[in-house]
Structure 1
Amino acid sequence: MMVSTTPARGGSARVFGLDLLRAIAVLSVLAGHSLDHGKAPVWMVRYIAPLAVYGVEIFYVLSGFLIGHILLRSVASGKLHNPTDILDFWKRRWARTLPLYMFFLLVYLRFDYHGPGDLRQVWSFFAFLQNFAWQIPPFFTHSWSLAVEEWFYLLLPVVFLTFHWLLKSDGKAIFATALVFLLVPLASRLVIGHHLTDWPGYDGYIRQTVVCRLDSIFMGVLCAYMRIHYPGFFERSVKFWWVGFGLFALLYMILSVIHYFNPASAWAQAAYLPLLSFSIACMVPAASKLRSTGLSVLDVFISHTSKVSYSLYLGHISMLTLVLGIMDQFGWVADSLHRTALLYIALAIFYYAFANLTYLLVEQPYIKLRDVRMGHSDVRSGNVAIAVGSPDPAGQPVPELGLLVAEPDHS
């Protein structure tokens, strides 16, 4: 299977289309949170601000697609059949995600949007328990999605290994694991959400709760499974990207345009979020083929935004808080379209400046340290797991693909 790539540092390559999806995801979150401030046009607040919700879902599917390749390739090579292998997987994930998260957890103790935090009150954030089966408290609230991802990384290999021991078969263990990660979140949404009647309640107790959201990431894993085990089907599905896009657009219209979504409906609680993730997963095959937008400057912007997306996501609220605080000090109010435009320009500059700083000084050093200590040349590494064993139509191996993990979070 031929995958389109663009050059990246270090001689590896990146999947440009997946970089594009990741850039769209993080920019949607930044736009949604920024539009809560100033005096933006009504149409912009109504139709663009809700994209923050969908940006998170894109992150989830991309994360599942990457992790699915790593775990499935590891299973096939006999590297996920004992507790030592699982511990190795966790160490690699935690070395990638925890340093920046812990850095920002300390930053938000002082510079959170909701005001300074109390270390005694936020202990749950150190163990990713802030939103396990309950609404996240008013502190570092955009960390909810990262908690979902961390629990997914923690539970998925454990569930698989347990079923492997019980069933003595990789295939049966994968099938049983899929049932757990699809049915448990479904049941959780129905049980936790039976009393909900409005969107704020649904948003806090369902959309942003760990036990209710694990199936969204698993949609990306299923996409990886199709690419590995049914490459012909994955290849043919590229032509039907419009099906996923059409479903995505319909779900967007239901929630954000005509406001038809009813959180009190058992059907809505059960189906809306996994359908949304499914629609994104349907677009991943086509995205993996995309080479370029046709504009080199735009391509560079997209690739760079994707590269620093984790820093952008975690750090933007601190910069939003800083800019609003400066405005308050000088008595400057964004009470017109002109002033609001200036506010958004300033926010964009602060967002990217701080993200680049934290990427270079916090995120990248730990990535390099992990690769030095743990290696990056086998299927435990995302770039190798994505590339290995996938020939193009002419039967030639695909070049190594670098796929930066989508550590989000989100709205």
Structure 2
Amino acid sequence: MNKNRIIGLDILRSVAILLVLYSHLRIYCFEYNLYKIRIDGVSVFFVLSGFLIGNILIEKIRTNKLNILHFLIFRWTKTLPSYFVILFLILIYYIVTKQDFSAFNYKYVIFIQNFYTSHPSFFKEAWSLSIEEWMYIFLPLVLILNNFFKIDKLKYFISVFLFFVFISIILRITYYELGIYSSLKEEFRKIILFRFDSIIFGFLVSIFYIYFHNFWKKFSLLSLFLGLICILSIELKLWNYPPLYFTLESIAILFLLPYLSNKDFLPPKTLNYLFYFISKISYSLYLINLSFMQIIFIPFFLKYFSFIVPNNNFILYYYLIFTFFFAILLHYFIEIPFLRLRHKLN
């Protein structure tokens, strides 16, 4: 395990992917009435990703070392290979089984299938990747413009981040009040222009981490308490205005970061390794767990291996076992080789 890793952030990433898995495995819980957790695992990923990438971008811009092409290659060698492998496998499956894949088009290749409209039914989980990819294209380009203006970098960063937050919130409120979109899950949650703010909140909190680190550490416990209060208010449904739901969710998550990013936060060693492992394969788990497993593998498994499924409850067990199995394969045979390539390029 890398000694420089921050275990608290591994825990947060692990919780995020476990929340995603929990929301998707509920269809296999035939005899259990599972509690519906309102906090969205993808929103946790957004804020955490914004925080981590924000630290990298802001530090490089502060020291005039940002190379946008290098930054994008650094990110794409992590995200694109596995994405295109799963996209290709799903597409091949649809072609071979002669199913309708008319929802697929070139937009999936350049991540604009949900730029300003709801995400298509094909490869449903790709919606969040589109939001992240475009955010990490737009933001460095906007931030590096600071080099052309005689503006204090800190003020410029804050102004840009607040602008993106404002635009996303105003768009959601406008579309909701006009009755154009009303579905929290399928529309507000999955449209690129509506969700930039979730990632930007992570960038905003990275400013405190870099510029006001003493304040960050001093009030970490208070921040944790506020975050838990926000999460509780979400779970108790005390805040139900759809356009601002994701705003409160993002604020709740960012409040957790000062405490969890503290290197002095150390759970038992066994848990360290567990969270480290889940965190490492979280991206592969995300790509594997929905379309690949629920559309391709589980139907195939039930068709040809039903004799080892004594009752419906076993479907859940097989779903979890094979989700982790295929995620590990994807991580070690696709992700890691490209990460090694990235290291060589560096």
TM superposition score normalised by structure 1: 0.76
Does structure 1 conserve the Cα–Cα contact (< 8 Å) formed by 2:51 and 2:202? yes
Structure 1 partner of 2:318: 346
Q: What pairs up with 1:329-368 in 2 under 5 angstroms?
A: 329=304, 339-368=311-340
Q: Distance in 2 between matches of 1:24 and 1:115?
A: 37
Q: Distance in 2 between matches of 1:210 and 1:115?
A: 30
Q: Distance in 2 between matches of 1:90 and 1:197?
A: 34
Q: CA deviation at 1:174?
A: 1.2
1:305 to 2:282 alignment = no
Aligned pair partner of 1:56 in 23, 34, 42: 42
What is the SS of the residue equivalent to 1:254?
A: coil
Q: Distance in 2 between matches of 1:371 and 1:323?
A: 36
Question: Matched residue pairs, number?
Answer: 340
Aligned pair partner of 2:54 in 59, 68, 82: 68
Does structure 2 conserve the Cα–Cα contact (< 8 Å) formed by 1:164 and 1:173? no
Residues 355-391 of structure 1: CA distance to partner in whole angstroms, max 9, x if unpaired?
A: 11011110000001011112xxxxxxxxxxxxxxxxx
Structure 2 partner of 1:39: 30
Q: What pairs up with 1:257-406 in 2 under 5 angstroms?
A: 261=240, 268-289=241-262, 291-294=265-268, 296=270, 298-317=271-290, 318-321=292-295, 322-329=297-304, 339-374=311-346
Q: Distance in 1 between matches of 2:233 and 2:340?
A: 42
Q: CA deviation at 1:295?
A: 5.6
Q: What pairs up with 1:8-407 in 2 under 5 angstroms?
A: 8=2, 12-42=3-33, 44=34, 47-48=35-36, 50=37, 54-80=40-66, 85-111=67-93, 116=99, 118=101, 121-196=104-179, 201-240=183-222, 241-254=224-237, 261=240, 268-289=241-262, 291-294=265-268, 296=270, 298-317=271-290, 318-321=292-295, 322-329=297-304, 339-374=311-346
TM superposition score normalised by structure 2: 0.90
Q: CA deviation at 1:233?
A: 1.2
Does structure 2 conserve the Cα–Cα contact (< 8 Å) formed by 1:109 and 1:116? no
What is the SS of the residue equivalent to 1:35?
A: helix
Root-mean-square deviation (CA), in Å?
2.5
Q: Distance in 2 between matches of 1:128 and 1:242?
A: 37
Q: CA deviation at 1:167?
A: 4.6
Q: Residues 330, 308 of structure 1: CA spacing in aligned structure 2 closer, same or farther, 3 A cutoff?
A: closer
Q: Residues 40, 124 of structure 1: CA spacing in aligned structure 2 closer, same or farther, 3 A cutoff?
A: farther
Give the gaps of 5 or more residues in structure 2: none
Give the gaps of 5 or more residues in structure 1: 1-6, 262-267, 375-411
Q: CA deviation at 1:339?
A: 3.2
